[in-house]
Amino acid sequence: MYMNKKIVTVTLNPCVDLTLTVDKFLYGGTNNVVGTRKDISGKGINTSVVLKNLGIENIATGLMFLEDKDILRDFLEKNKIPNKFILAPGNMRTNIKIFDNSQKSMSEFNGKGCYVDTETQNAFLAMMEEVLAETKILIVSGSVPPGISIEIYKWLTAMAVEKGIRVIADASGQILEETVESKPFLIKPNTDELEKTFHMPSSTEEEIVQAANKIIKKGVKYVCVSRGEKGAVLVTEKKIYTADGVAVKVKGIQGAGDSMIAGFCYAMEHAMEEKDYLKYAVAAATGSLLHEGTKLCEKEDILEVADLVQVNEKSNEGGIK
């Protein structure tokens, strides 16, 4: 069924991430920058890069803005990622990230992006009808620019599911809430996104599982919730898998969630056991913490960290009977 078909990522709001590193961030004061990085980014693009680093062929799709289209094209070509983008007027948004060395924390200032009209949106959806013919897993992730419908991931998911394609959704707020209605294969919120999107507490493992079970009853097969340094929880209708975070020297935290999705796909591509989906997801997320800015993990990072990830498994007593 999936012979010669590929994983496809969607990035509708690509960006340039400018990461400034300071020893200790002083709010309202003068901060001396000790490190600067500028990276082409966007959640789907990040996942495409990590998949490529893992040796998994994939296609990056989305919107490419006219004023800096060559910058994004050059980046994708340099990383040898096949791509199919629709051109839109305007330029990529810029996100400012301030990494505090003392706290190992990131303060983010994210741009909204340029307005995209309905004609461009429809052209993208028409293109995706063709792309889905060569897709086995569709990854929809990140924000959408002004003008794009908040239902677009819902529509894409419905289009894909109808063709038997597994969909992984990594978004938040109303966009994710809408997408769940089309029954994606996996969603990957963090605890904050889980709580704000579905209006359910998610501070403890028990609360996370309760919230995940309600989502699974809507037709989602896997709910993977990232918990930062506490690790992650993967919930299915029958099982609960948990993994603690791995202690590493953190140099940056951008792209960890996007890498997590790539790790999940790596385990699926290699027909691993279900619990290993979480193992390699956590390993990939942790691997990205080893790099500054939005520089993403390499295969060696993931395989090395994977040996340190311990996954616990138990029955999901509150799941679907």
Is residue 258 part of the annotated active site? The answer reads yes
Report the alpha-carbon distance of residue 44 to residue 46 in Å, rounded.
5
Q: Which tokens sit at 293?
A: 């800015």
Query: Closest Cα partner for 54 from 305, 306, 253, 300?
Result: 300
Q: Which of 17, 258, 276, 301 is catalytic?
A: 258
Q: How far is CA 292 from each of CA 15, 38, 78, 166, 281, rounded to the nearest angstrom?
A: 17, 10, 19, 32, 20
Buried b / exposed e over 252-273, threshold 16 CB at 10 Å, is: bbbbbbbbbbbbbbbbbbeeee
What residues are annotated to the active site? 258
